[in-house]
């Protein structure tokens, strides 16, 4: 069932959960891509910092998120915070397939009267599986590029491709060098290194995020006054969902990053090495950056996503949608 707002007269006449069939897709897809690109552009430095914190051993290079930001800015400049961004930005294309899968699966499950939280959980997992199949090669490339130019990286062993940045070298040339070296070292399989780990990390992450998002929505709708903004309520739900999911899945994300960048043989080996290096700290490695990234990303994405759904909703439903 859809969510409705109960007005002062007790009648249910406001839709609070816009379904796939209610939207004009010619408006939704372009606006969704623009929103996704804007959010990723604004939050990319947090992604880069999170990845570097996850890859380093112990705290050999950075002691935390703010220390990482200060050192990257000092030694690599502002551009250092955006290393690999143009490759990573391809995710806006995979995002179209992701959201289409998510909404499509939710629509099918909705017709079968599956509960809102459960269909969000299932649809989120399916969407992530599709998205990761498309994006993993670009993810591998962008994460290697994130490591390029790290101050002292030769001593820290951030990656083992043996490629060094050169003054005046264009981003395209450097990307091609990284791609050639990955192919030379591992063949085509190298571009899908960590694919299984990505599925193990992102599929539960996506499923839990959407599941918690709708779970928190249901409970916040139940206690919020009728005049409260539903868009703000949804953004709070997304933030809480992102925060909860990050706490549950952080070790999997660390393992995924290490598999893709350090060419470790398997998830089992990556978990073992991580436990030997970090012990119980493996559960909090890079967590502060990831929590801030996830909470900020979740809030921003939901604000954009739900606003675009409201803009794209067909005329016949506009008067029933509450902002």
Q: What is the pLDDT of residues 106-119, one digit of tens each?
A: 888 888 888 888 88
Range of the structural domain that residue 140 is part of: 4-318
Residue 274 has pLDDT above 80, yes or no: no
Look at residue 186 and tell me if it is in a domain: yes
Phi and psi (nearest 5°) for 3?
Answer: -85, 145
DSSP class of residue 33?
Answer: H
What distance in Å separates the CA atoms of residue 287 and residue 280, rounded to the nearest whole number? 13
Q: How many domains does the chain have?
A: 1
Look at residue 323 and tell me if it is in a domain: no
- Which pLDDT tens digit goes with each residue over 27-70? 888 888 888 888 888 888 888 888 888 777 767 788 888 888 89
Provide mean pLDDT across the span 146-155.
59
Burial class, 74, CB count within 10 angstroms (exposed 0-12 / middle 13-18 / buried 19+): exposed
Phi and psi (nearest 5°) for 5?
Answer: -95, 130
Segment (H or E) for 13? strand 12-15
Look at residue 197 and tell me if it is in a domain: yes
pLDDT of residue 240: 92
Using pLDDT thresholds of 50, 70 and 90, give the confidence band for residue 236: very high
pTM of the model: 0.67
Burial class, 10, CB count within 10 angstroms (exposed 0-12 / middle 13-18 / buried 19+): exposed
313 DSSP β-pair partners: 23
Look at residue 126 and tell me if it is in a domain: yes
Look at residue 200 and tell me if it is in a domain: yes
Look at residue 24 and tell me if it is in a domain: yes
Look at residue 269 and tell me if it is in a domain: yes
Provide mean pLDDT across the span 219-227.
84
Say which CATH number the domain at 50 has: 1.50.40.10
Look at residue 144 and tell me if it is in a domain: yes
DSSP class of residue 5?
Answer: E
Q: What is the percent of the chain with per-residue pLDDT over 90, rounded to a whole number?
A: 4
Characterise 209 by phi-psi region: left (phi > 0), alpha (psi -120 to 50), beta (else).
Answer: alpha
């Amino acid at each position: 069932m859809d969510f409705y707002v109960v007005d002062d007269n007790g009648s249910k006449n406001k839709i609070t959960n816009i379904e796939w069939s209610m939207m004009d897709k010619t408006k939704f897809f372009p606006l969704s891509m623009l929103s996704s690109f804007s959010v990723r552009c604004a939050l990319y430095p947090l992604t880069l910092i999170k990845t570097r914190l996850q890859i380093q051993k112990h705290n050999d290079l950075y002691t935390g998120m703010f220390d990482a930001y200060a050192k990257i800015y000092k030694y690599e400049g502002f551009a250092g915070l955006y290393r690999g961004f143009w490759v990573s930005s391809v995710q806006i294309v995979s995002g179209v397939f992701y959201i289409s899968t998510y909404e499509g699966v939710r629509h099918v499950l909705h017709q079968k009267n599956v509960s809102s939280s459960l269909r969000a959980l299932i649809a989120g997992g399916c969407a992530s599986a599709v998205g990761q199949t498309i994006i993993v090669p670009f993810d591998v490339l962008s994460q290697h590029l994130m490591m390029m130019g790290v101050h002292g990286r030769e001593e820290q062993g951030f990656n083992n491709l043996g490629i060094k940045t050169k003054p005046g070298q264009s981003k395209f040339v450097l990307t091609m060098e990284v791609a050639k070296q990955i192919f030379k070292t591992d063949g085509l399989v190298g571009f899908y290194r960590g694919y299984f780990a990505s599925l193990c990390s992102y599929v539960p992450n996506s499923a839990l995020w959407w599941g918690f998002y709708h779970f928190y929505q249901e409970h916040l709708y139940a206690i919020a006054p009728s005049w409260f903004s539903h868009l703000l309520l949804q953004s709070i739900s997304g933030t809480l969902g992102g925060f909860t999911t990050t706490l549950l899945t952080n070790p999997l994300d660390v393992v995924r990053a290490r598999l893709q960048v350090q060419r470790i043989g398997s998830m089992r080996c990556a978990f073992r090495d991580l436990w030997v290096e970090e012990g119980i700290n493996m559960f909090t490695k890079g967590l502060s950056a990831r929590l801030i990234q996830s909470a900020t990303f979740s809030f921003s994405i939901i604000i954009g996503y739900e606003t675009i759904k409201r803009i794209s909703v067909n005329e016949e439903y506009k008067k029933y949608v509450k902002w």
